[in-house]
Amino acid sequence: MFGRKREASFSLFALLITITLFFAARAYLKEFFPFTDKIESFATLSTLIVISALVYREQIANKEFTALLVLALASLSATLIFEDKLHYPTAYLRTIWYPLHVPLSFAAYALWFLAGIDAIYSTKQLKSTDPAVAERALITQLNRNGFIFFSFAMLFGGIWGYLAWGAYFMWDSKLLWSIILWLYYGNLLHIDALPRFRHWKVPLYALGMVLILITFIGTGFFTRSIHKF
């Protein structure tokens, strides 16, 4: 089905427009943007995965594109689990640092997920022993872009934390796992320059997807984090 690029891209653009309308209606009703509950949170992740898939459509194989769409669909389906009730933002969410912090981290999750899927369907470039070739590989580019997004998300989150709770870091599982992710993917940025560890690249990127799931879903559902969505 997704081999037919034009139809697939058209369907995805239609989905994006639908989700945009969904968000616009909710933002109007709540007088607030971007999101305040798990439904909107999963819809955002789904959207960002779709956008990443479209942006990198020409550089990834059909199998990878399909896997991303399945992932986006899974994220969208997760919205059906929760009771659909409009949540007004708490006082802490009403700041410019919130829309700067959260969507950027979600964009990083999407890019890193794409890197993980690309690693599983590893290309010839990944197997290359030439660091220059490896450096140009999509997986490295995705990680760098994800790292840039996540770094800014962390910077904005730190400023928000200082203004709202008096500290740029607190003992909270979501914060701890965000640092884990940032250090992990920052570390992976070096792997192309380390011949001894290059064969770890694929498993480490694949493991990265598990870490993202723990950070995004695990900490919100199974821990006492105040970050519930």
Distance CA 220, CA 170 (A): 16
Instruction: By CB under 8 A, tell whether 205 contacts another protein.
Output: no
Distance CA 12, CA 107 (A): 17
If DSSP states are collapsed to H, E and C, what string results for 65-91? HHHHHHHHHHHHHHHHHCCCCCCCCCH
**Smallest gap from residue 79 Cβ to another protein (A):** 21
**Smallest gap from residue 123 Cβ to another protein (A):** 16
- Contact of 32 with 93, CB cutoff 8 Å: yes
Q: Within positions 73 to 92, which residues make up the interface with another protein, using CB under 8 A?
A: 88, 90-92
> Of 18 and 162, which has the nearer Cβ to another protein?
162
Site string (13-52) toward another protein, x via CB under 8 A: ----------------------------------------
Instruction: By CB under 8 A, tell whether 147 contacts another protein.
Output: yes
State the number of binding residues for another protein (CB under 8 A): 49
Instruction: By CB under 8 A, tell whether 94 contacts another protein.
Output: yes
- Contact of 141 with 192, CB cutoff 8 Å: no
**Smallest gap from residue 139 Cβ to another protein (A):** 11
Q: What long-range pairs does 134-138 form, CB within 8 A, spacing at least 24? A: 134/192, 134/198, 135/192, 137/192, 138/56, 138/59, 138/60
Instruction: By CB under 8 A, tell whether 210 contacts another protein.
Output: no
Tell me the two tokens of residue 219.
């900490």
Instruction: By CB under 8 A, tell whether 132 contacts another protein.
Output: no
Site string (155-184) toward another protein, x via CB under 8 A: x--xxx-xxxxxxxxxxxx--xx-xx--xx
Determine the residue type at 126.
L
